[in-house]
Amino acid sequence: MRNLLNFIIRNSHWLVAILLIAFSFYLLFSHNSYQRSVFLSSANRVAGWCYTARSNVSSFFHLKGDNRRLMERAAQLEQEIYLLKAEIDQLTATDSSKVEAFVLDTMEQSRFEFIPAEVVNLSFAGPNNFITLNKGALHGVKPDMGVISRQGVAGVVATVSNNFSMVIPVINPKFRLSAKLKNSDNYGSISWDGREVQQAQLGELPKHELFQPGDTVITSFSRIFPKRLIIGYVSDIGESKDDNFNTFNIRLATDFYSLRDVLIIRDAFYEEQKKLEEEGQ
């Protein structure tokens, strides 16, 4: 207490000066409308800046939760898109008397569901590239489930643990997928030659196949992916090992350099179809 009193006595002239200045400002802003308006305007700007800064900091710490909710919504929308595409195909392939029954059946049981996941590791160390996701067996993920990005096909689940799964991406020599040009009835196969990260090959297409650079390449027959999912876009003619077939280089729709969020496809009929096809072999 004595030290505090000594401090006040030693610096009393500074304290009196501060009090007089504060009182002067009070008189100035209280009795002069112009100065008061300037003060209030400046105070509002400072307060607004503080509120904006606080909001930005709060938004930053909530980004992960917001992104998770967006991915969940994306999964729901992806499922709705699949249902709508299936309905359109049915409308064009059948007469109107079957449409109502088809729609009701589709709404009762959707074949494909989508599980949102985040990329926690992505390897481009060599030809055997892989992707690690933060969803595993506890989240319903199993081997042979398809994985898509917001732009297109990304890969296939290879192995899973309780909380993680490893994906073989399109840019892996082990990856194979049936595909075709969007406006064609001829089917080929997607593979990767191990060269460019953003480019794969569509092979086994007949020589008479017509194409234009930029043509869309989509999924066709697959036990893993729904039909008509975008894989990439034709860039040019590639090297073919068979003179009877063409091979196209395609620019992949998925940007693996910026891949952060994906959807894992769960097919309700996968096990049933796999068992039936294995029994028939």
pLDDT in tens, 104-160: 455 434 688 899 999 999 887 777 899 999 999 999 999 999 999 988 999 999 999
**Residue that the structure tokens 């997607």 belong to:** 190
pTM of this structure: 0.65
Domain spans in the chain, listed from the N-terminal domain onward: 113-281
Class of the CATH domain delimited by 113-281: mainly beta
Contact criterion met (CB below 8 Å) for 134 and 164: yes
| Per-residue model confidence as pLDDT tens digits over 21-64 | 777 766 666 666 666 665 555 655 555 455 456 546 655 666 76
Tell me: pLDDT of 167 over 60. yes
Q: Name the range with the highest mean pLDDT among 20-24, 102-106, 273-277.
A: 273-277
For residues 160 and 138, give the distance between their C-alpha atoms in angstroms, rounded to a whole number: 10
Q: What percentage of the chain has pLDDT greater than the value 70?
A: 71
Between 203 and 210, the more confident residue is 203
pLDDT of residue 108: 39
